[in-house]
Amino acid sequence: MTTTAFVFDEAMLGYDLGDDHPLSPLRRSLAVDLIRAYGLLDRDDVDVVAPRAAVDDEIARAHAPSYIAATKRYSADPMMSHEWEAAQWGFAAGGDTPAFTGMHEAAAYLCGASITAAMEVWEGRAAQAFSAGGGLHHALHNRAAGFCVYNDPAVAIHALLGSGAERVAYIDVDVHHGDGTQWIFYEDPRVLTCSVHESGRYLFPGTGHLAERGVGAAEGTAVNIPLPPYAGEAPYLRAVEDVIAPAVAAFDPDIIVTQNGADPHHRDPLAHLQITMGTYPRLYRALVQIARETAGGRLVALGGGGYHTDVVPRAWTMLFAGMLGVELDDEIPHEWVAKSSGRAGMLLTPTLLGDEEPEIPAGERARADAEGHQVVDQARLLLRM
């Protein structure tokens, strides 16, 4: 029997940037509760695995020791973020990644959860794994950025490389470019980074252009598909199926790590792509299929962005179901809807695929899709270079 690991415990909810911050731990909590409500954690082929915190030496494979020391300093006394030096580490007061008490410990725990998921697969205890946290892909080697303190995908990939993996493919489907993870491995030919996202011409972090392909011996190991605002399902899925899939196949990885931000959805408040809930099952099937065809099914799935409370729990539940090959009833268990609507302060959609029509003019959508297809075609041409 093929086993899938589900990595989670309540301590993973300790990464909390504040009550009014978009990256609320409520998203993760509701997602885990919905996965549980569907009975997916009670299956014989699922092992629920408790994570551990990453130690400094593990984090230092992806981050400068001086940055780790600074993170500990602001973690112990967040009021120090009002000092001018805080800006160089990404912790300036009023910034997008505010310091909070226990920040280092919380971020190290998410790193440890991603390492745990990776090792469950690499050491053969599970064929695939999903960590219900992490995916903090913006953190740079020596700086916090974009809600991200430590880059847990990079920390987990380094753990895999240190454990004998020769080639690791990283696939990022978040609406924001996975810049931090890309830059950490930009000169490393052992890691392929692939990202489909809204173009950096319009959206943070301003990177992820077609021309970013890696340097030196790693040239060609960074693949980017930057879609225009308002592009929808067709170019988005083509980016995965017609660009990322063949890129990964050519790279021939030992294992695949995915970052599964749910913010390409049209209701997300921080971005402008226009995919719908109906896009997610096909997307997740494609990612699972890529892993099966290129890496012996070895897949490590992480969380990521996504800032609409009605979207993230449903998307990540479909992700885990897709990994298990399970078809879920579209009608969500009533008890979860009632309880979670109260926690979220809004009436949550009672079906997995229930959605609203994107609120953009049809002509604008058609223009964006046409431009998106052109970008996909350009990215395909670059694969042949």
Catalytic center residues: 138
Q: Detail the DSSP E strand segments found in the chain.
A: 4-7, 46-49, 128-131, 168-172, 191-198, 222-227, 255-259, 299-302
Backbone angles phi, psi at 226, to 5 degrees: -90, 110
Question: Taking CA 62 as the corner, what is the angle to CA 56 and CA 63, rounded to the nearest 5 degrees?
Answer: 65
Q: How far apart are CA 385 and CA 378, in angstroms?
A: 11
Question: Taking CA 104 as the corner, what is the angle to CA 100 and CA 108, rounded to the nearest 5 degrees?
Answer: 135
Q: Which of 233, 247, 94, 231 is nearest to 167 (CA)?
A: 247
Helix axes 334-344, 25-37, angle to 10 degrees: 170
Q: How far apart are CA 146 and CA 138, in angstroms?
A: 6
Q: How far apart are CA 335 and CA 124, in angstroms?
A: 36
Please confirm whether the linkage preceding 205 is cis (ω < 30° from 0): yes
DSSP code string of 185-238: TTT-TTEEEEEEEE-TTTSTT----TT----GGGTT-EEEEEEPTT--HHHHHH
Burial class of residue 43 in the structure, from the number of CB atoms within 10 Å of its CB (0-12 exposed, 13-18 middle, 19+ buried): middle
Per the structure block, which two tokens stand in for 237?
């899925």
